[in-house]
Amino acid sequence: MRFNYDRIVHFKDTDAAGVVFFANILTICHEAYEHSLEMMGFELKLFFSNSGSYAVPIVQAQVDFLHPIFCGDRLIINIQPQKLDSYSFQISYKITNEHSKLLSIAQTKHICISNTDRTKFILPIEIREWIAALNHSG
C-alpha cells in the first residue's frame, strides 16, 4: 500500500524569504509519519507518550531541497519505511507538488528503545506490520 499525505503549506511554515523554513519540512514529514501510524490503527496519544514499553526516537535526519516550496503550495508527501535491523528502521520521504514535481527528499532514522532503561528494544510486531503494510505493492 502506497501512503501519501496531502498538506497545504501555511504561512507559519515559511521564513522571511517566503519559502518553507528548512526545519519545517521535517515537521511536515513527521506529520505524514504520524498520519500513517494513525491510519494503521496506532493510538497516537499512547504511542508518543512513552507510557508503553518502548519508544522510537529519531536518531538521524537528512533533507535535500530540490526546489523552493511556498505558502499555499499543495504538497503530497509519500513515505516509505524500511526495516534496517531488529532494532531500527528508516523512513524515506518524497515531497512533490500536485503536478508530481519532486520538491524535496528527506530521511529519518529511528531506533527502538526500552522506556525503562533506554537500551535497544526489538521492534514490536505492530511496527514491523506497519513497515510491511506500507511496503506491500498492490
Residues noted as catalytic: 15
Residue type, 130: W
Q: First and final CA of the chain: distance in angstroms?
A: 6
Helix ranges restricted to H, 42-114: 44-47
Q: Is residue 131 within 8 Å of 3, Cβ to Cβ?
A: no
d(CA 46, CA 49): 5
d(CA 37, CA 130): 7
Q: Is residue 75 within 8 Å of 6, Cβ to Cβ?
A: yes
